[in-house]
Amino acid sequence: MKAKIIIAAILLFGQVANAQINLPNITNPSLDFSLPSLQKDSTIQLSSLKGKVFLLDFWASWCAPCRAANKQLLKLYAKYKDAGFEILGVSLDENSIDWKKAIAKDKITWLQVIDKNGWDAIAAMKWNIEAIPSSFLIDKNGNVVASDLTYSNLEKMIKQLLELN
């Protein structure tokens, strides 16, 4: 019985260690995307943010929890943007007018893109988004290091990744 438990623990540890080594990376074509941004005739490609610590944040103007999260993100962004922290908001809005109104009302100043296909948005499908808000913290190497963190845990990890501790 003990041998089975030890073998199971070794197998589990091997899978966990492997998962840590093979973190999802934004340069992987299966995760990368390019979408229209707020600036007219401009797009942002996800992989272009490699080299920055950033939060990939999926949201929509009609999503009340997303709008509440924006208020928290405003604080984090203001506090850490000068240290190199960025946010890329990916809207699942189907109507760009509603999206732009929400950005203005929430006073969002970080990068924003939109895929007007709602739940069928290519970025949402690539990232297996099933609920919003959904977010992924990404390190300077482009690796996803955490997802859907609480505000305090997100701030702690941002400080670690920016080496501000």
CATH number of domain containing 65: 3.40.30.10
pLDDT tens by residue, 20-54: 456 799 989 999 999 999 887 899 999 999 999 99
User: In this structure, is residue 12 part of a structural domain?
Assistant: no
CB 127 within 8 A of CB 25: no
Please, which pLDDT band fits residue 19 given cuts at 50, 70 and 90?
very low
User: In this structure, is residue 3 part of a structural domain?
Assistant: no
Q: Show the beta-strand stretches assigned E in 38-116.
A: 43-45, 53-59, 85-91, 111-114
Question: How confident is the model at residue 38, as a pLDDT?
Answer: 87
CA–CA dist 130, 119 (Å, integer): 8
User: In this structure, is residue 5 part of a structural domain?
Assistant: no
Torsion of CA 154, 155, 157, 158, to 10 degrees: 110
In terms of pLDDT, which residue wins out, 4 or 90? Answer: 90
Please, which pLDDT band fits residue 12 given cuts at 50, 70 and 90?
very low
Span 83-98, mean pLDDT?
96
Q: Whole-number mean pLDDT of the chain?
A: 88
User: In this structure, is residue 20 part of a structural domain?
Assistant: no
Question: How confident is the model at residue 22, as a pLDDT?
Answer: 64
CA–CA dist 65, 58 (Å, integer): 12
User: In this structure, is residue 8 part of a structural domain?
Assistant: no
Range(s) of the domain holding residue 132: 25-161
User: In this structure, is residue 155 part of a structural domain?
Assistant: yes
Which of 51, 35, 34, 26 has the alpha carbon at shortest distance from 144? 26
User: In this structure, is residue 148 part of a structural domain?
Assistant: yes
CB 151 within 8 A of CB 72: yes
Tally of structural domains, the chain: 1
User: In this structure, is residue 17 part of a structural domain?
Assistant: no
Span 98-118, mean pLDDT?
95
Please, which pLDDT band fits residue 123 given cuts at 50, 70 and 90?
very high
Q: Is the pLDDT of residue 155 over 80?
A: yes
